Amino acid sequence: MDLELTDRVAVVTGASKGIGLATVRTLLDEGARVVAVSRSRTSELEDLASKELTHVTADLTEPDAPARAIAAAAEAYGGVDVVVNNAGGPPPGAKLPRFTFMSLTDDDWREMFEFNLLSAVRAARAAIPLMLERGGGAIVNVSTVNARQPGAMNFDYAATKAGLSNLTMSLSDAYASQGIRVNTVSPGPVRTPWWTDDGGAADIIAAQAGASREEVLDSVAPSMMNLATGRLVSAQEVADAIVWVASPRSASTIGSDVVVDGGLLKTV
């Protein structure tokens, strides 16, 4: 299927690994020109180097960083057609999951909102005028199933993603008639460095469950979350959904939430 993304200009945040890296790779495969935004470059991102890829080094918790990334896309490729607000999860220096509410400080909450919600607000604010100049575009906000199904953990993270999902609906209502589609893609647990890095989610859960990291990744976490597939989601599976939602082939997908969760959600 031709997703009609050839020569479209896409900005992807959190692009150096995991879902973001898979999204960059998939967009390039579809013929898009991509601005990859991350705090640092990884060897995997370097392997994708071409004239169709520009890297912007930015910490998206800094208020001016999203606008700088959008401006870099306009400078490099003449405009912006797609924004994928993928950067999110634990802010720099933080680790998830966090199992308590009372230990979270105001600074913890502020940092989580800066990284997961305000970075997307700022990127959209910078990109929408450029999209309107080109007759429209697509914004894909990467949320989480925890925005719909909160539990007794990750209180600050779930709240920010619920806010992001609400923002998506509001922006969609405001701009759909002007050709800008805004949607969310909500992953479940995805086998990314967030889980697999030393000290990451797998290690934290392993310490709680008395299991090894490998056992958590392969069986404990999928069982604990009652995943219908019996495994964590792959980054590529989420990237495929993101790129489809961003493409003109999904022109009537507006204000929707596309769930890629391995069957975690069991609600209608």
Q: Span 200-226, mean pLDDT?
A: 93
Residues with a known catalytic role? 157
Whether residue 100 lies inside any domain: the answer is yes
**Are 18 and 120 contained in the same domain?**
yes
Whether residue 265 lies inside any domain: the answer is no
∠ CA(86), CA(181), CA(64), 5° rounding? Answer: 45
User: Is the separation of the CB atoms in 127 and 72 below 8 Å?
Assistant: no
Whether residue 4 lies inside any domain: the answer is no
In this structure, what CATH number is given to the domain that contains residue 175?
3.40.50.720
**Are 114 and 91 contained in the same domain?**
yes
Domain housing 157:
9-188+234-252
User: Is the separation of the CB atoms in 185 and 260 below 8 Å?
Assistant: yes
Total tally of structural domains belonging to the chain? 2
**Are 137 and 201 contained in the same domain?**
no
**Are 144 and 208 contained in the same domain?**
no
- Which phi and psi angles does 16 have, rounded to 5°? -85, -15
Residue 63 has pLDDT above 90, yes or no: yes
How would residue 126 be classed by pLDDT, with cut points 50, 70 and 90? very high
pLDDT tens across 239-260, in order?
999 999 999 999 999 999 999 9
Q: Length of the chain in residues, anyone?
A: 268
Whether residue 24 lies inside any domain: the answer is yes
**Are 113 and 198 contained in the same domain?**
no
Residue 62 has pLDDT above 90, yes or no: yes
**Are 21 and 99 contained in the same domain?**
yes
**Are 62 and 179 contained in the same domain?**
yes
User: Is the separation of the CB atoms in 10 and 246 below 8 Å?
Assistant: yes
How would residue 1 be classed by pLDDT, with cut points 50, 70 and 90? confident
